[in-house]
Structure 1
Amino acid sequence: MLTEPIVGCILGTAVGDALGLPYEGVSPKRAAKLLGPPDRYRFFFRRGMISDDTEHTCMVAQSLIDAGGDVPKFTRSFARRLRWWILALPAGVGKATARSGIKLWLGASPEKAGVFSAGNGPAMRAAIFGAALDDVPSILSFVRASSRLTHSDPKAECGAIAVALAAKHSRDNETVDANLWLDEVVDAVGEAESELIDLLRKAIQSVNVGEITKTFAKSLGLDRGVTGYTYHTVPVAIHAWLSNPKDFRKAVLSIIVCGGDADTTAAIVGGIVGAGVGQAGIPGEWLDGIWEWPRSVAWMQRLGEALADSLDGDKSVKSPTANPIAVLLRNLLFLFIVLFHGFRRLAPPY
């Protein structure tokens, strides 16, 4: 059974997302002055809330249950969920994802809804594929379907593949072998995708000489924060994972202090490491501190268990659902808190 890695991946994504959210778009230097260290939730008093990174991961998990191993059925299910997700007024949705959601509402087929973007949207929801699926060809097929629904640039797809295979490697190996994982990525995306492969090799070399993740990010010119470009996001996230493959706390903290798109980078790292350590390896106070409804921690745990049961052959399993009115009300509150943080950033300290 894959219950532990699947639940660990979903909850790890949620915790990383919630911890990193207040730091999104803030440079490391300003974040240290404005917010302090990311060792506790700083979004709503001492509580954390999830954003699109976790919501997309949950929608992928629900769609995998619906699909029963059928990729076209998964694509249709995920497209349907994405349409309704857009309608619930989520705050902070990426531009490419928003455009693809609108195209779906205007009648575009799932195969033609994606826009040409190398954003990190596909990567943020990719770890769950590696946590849940055993067969690499199946992982690649589902990752490509998920990626192309919103992002048609091959770079976005390749970044997502690297994340999914990292989660699978994390799940399957007590001791992580970076070079073995990289060989799997090369086999999947091809040597022609040399830019990504070179960046991943640099990440491995940096880990091997003992550089911290923040130093590696600076070496890529990301001293003011990791951007949403997938070839910035993924190598830095991989560095954080390889530096702390079985230490959830250190891995997530090491990526958040890099600044920039901190909720997404931390969600990706949390999903990868969570697939390896399971729910038991995620700090309990961080799980208890997530303040969410209707997608509570218990709801996400049930979702992971349902996905594991469905993959184990239980055809009667139905994915947990969330009341759309409750989601809309929650999103309005979430938007209010996001706006508060936006205005707070206008004030000192600078």
Structure 2
Amino acid sequence: MSHDRIDRARGSLAGLALGDALGSQFFVPSNRSHLDARSLPPGPWQWTDDTEMACSVYLVLAVHRGIDQDVLAASFAERHDFDRGYGPSTNRMLRLVREGGDWRELAAGLFDGGGSWGNGAAMRVAPLGAFLADDLSEAARQAALSATVTHTHPEAVAGAVAVAVAAGLAASGAQRPGTFIDRILEHVPEGKVRDGLVEARHLLTLSDAGTVAQILGNGRAVAAHDTVPFAIWAAARNLDDFERAFWTTASAGGDVDTTCAIVGGIVASGLGSEGLPNGWLEAVEPLPSWASPG
């Protein structure tokens, strides 16, 4: 296995965790003034389920060199910490997997058999895109595999594919925003997520994140199509600057930890952990020891 691949994935994971942990601070009312002033709230910043699940994706990649769905499902269930902010359906599913349930049946049976179209598959997948940056079609294929362990709805899968491809593109070097989104669209199937990405492409001339979020969504609905297009817009405009990418994303409100996790994971795929603000990294809760295979 190339160290370049795992180093890229590790850098993406660091950016994802930083975006998640700092973004989550703005759900605390006393920290809203920090967001308005674009200043840092006091640490330490704890990450959420976004990072915990991304660590499992990273671990499976590091050990198996690709997505083994059974191993990934087992890792999600084994490392599931109820207090990290998981949604109720995911909490229940992972508990049942721990008790011996079949993840395939459980994931497919969610929401009356339609599967979840939430943003959970997209929020955790950026390290996979960084890992497979040399083959975007394979990144898209394995992103879909990683998604359907918990999210079988086509929109959730499309959201994961879009984020993985975005991370892979970022890892290949900064690009013009329009080209960046155009290349993502080559891999995303028809549907609400793709429609949102097309609209995001048209909105690249706008600079106000709040206005763009009013059109695309900001994750408040906790759906892939309400989350991923805005996150891709924010990343596309800020691939060379993590701080600017974070504040642009966070300023739109909504599901801030998740949108910032997605954007952080994409941007850090290109910048690497050395491109992240040192003072910020020091305030983030360390990643779990199990996420670093020996």
Which residue of 1 is the match for residue 129 of structure 2? Answer: 130
2-11 vs 76-85, greater mean Cα deviation: 2-11
2:96 aligned partner:
103
Q: Could you tell me which of 58, 64, 72 is aligned with 1:61? A: 58
User: Mean Cα displacement is larger for which, 31-40 or 245-254?
Assistant: 31-40
Contact 2:10 2:127 in 1 (8 A): no
2:215 is aligned with 1:219: yes
What aligned pairs does 1:99-248 form with structure 2 within 5 A after superposition?
A: 99-114=92-107, 115=110, 116-133=115-132, 134-179=134-179, 181-186=181-186, 188-190=187-189, 192-193=190-191, 195-207=192-204, 209-220=205-216, 226-248=220-242
How big is each residue's C-alpha offset from its partner over 1:59-108, in whole Å with a ceiling of 9 and x where there is no partner?
A: 11111223234x4xx1111111112123x433311233223213313433
Cα separation, partners in 2 of 1:58 and 1:196, compared to 1, 3 Å: same
Mark the runs of 5 or more structure 2 residues left unpaired by the alignment.
Answer: none
Instruction: Flag structure 1 segments of 5+ consecutive residues without an equivalent.
Output: 304-318, 321-350
* Normalised TM-score (structure 1): 0.74
TM-score (ref. length: structure 2): 0.87
CA distance in 2, matches of 1:155, 1:234: 10
Structure ranking higher on relative contact order (CA contacts 8 Å, 6+ apart): 1
- Following superposition of structure 1 onto structure 2, how do residues 1-350 of structure 1 map, counting pairs within 5 Å? 1-24=4-27, 32-33=32-33, 36-40=36-40, 42=41, 45-69=42-66, 71=67, 74-86=68-80, 88-114=81-107, 115=110, 116-133=115-132, 134-179=134-179, 181-186=181-186, 188-190=187-189, 192-193=190-191, 195-207=192-204, 209-220=205-216, 226-292=220-286, 295=288, 303=292, 319-320=293-294
**Contact 1:214/1:255 (<8 A) preserved:** no
Q: Among all aligned residue pairs of Structure 1 and Structure 2, give the percentage whose two residues are the same amino acid.
A: 31
Q: Distance in 2 between matches of 1:197 and 1:221?
A: 14
**Secondary structure at the residue paired with 2:83?**
coil
1:129 CA displacement? 1.1
CA–CA distance in structure 2, aligned partners of residues 238 and 184 of structure 1: 9
Larger CA Rg, structure 1 vs 2? 1
Residue identity in the other structure for 2:8? P
Shifted more, 262-271 versus 100-109: the winner is 100-109
Q: CA deviation at 1:260?
A: 1.7
Q: What amino acid is the match of 1:253?
A: W
CA contact (8 A) 2:206 2:212 kept: no
**Count of residue pairs the alignment pairs up:** 284
Segments ≥4 residues shifted beyond 6 Å: none
Distance (Å, rounded) in 2 between the aligned partners of 1:117 and 1:32 = 31
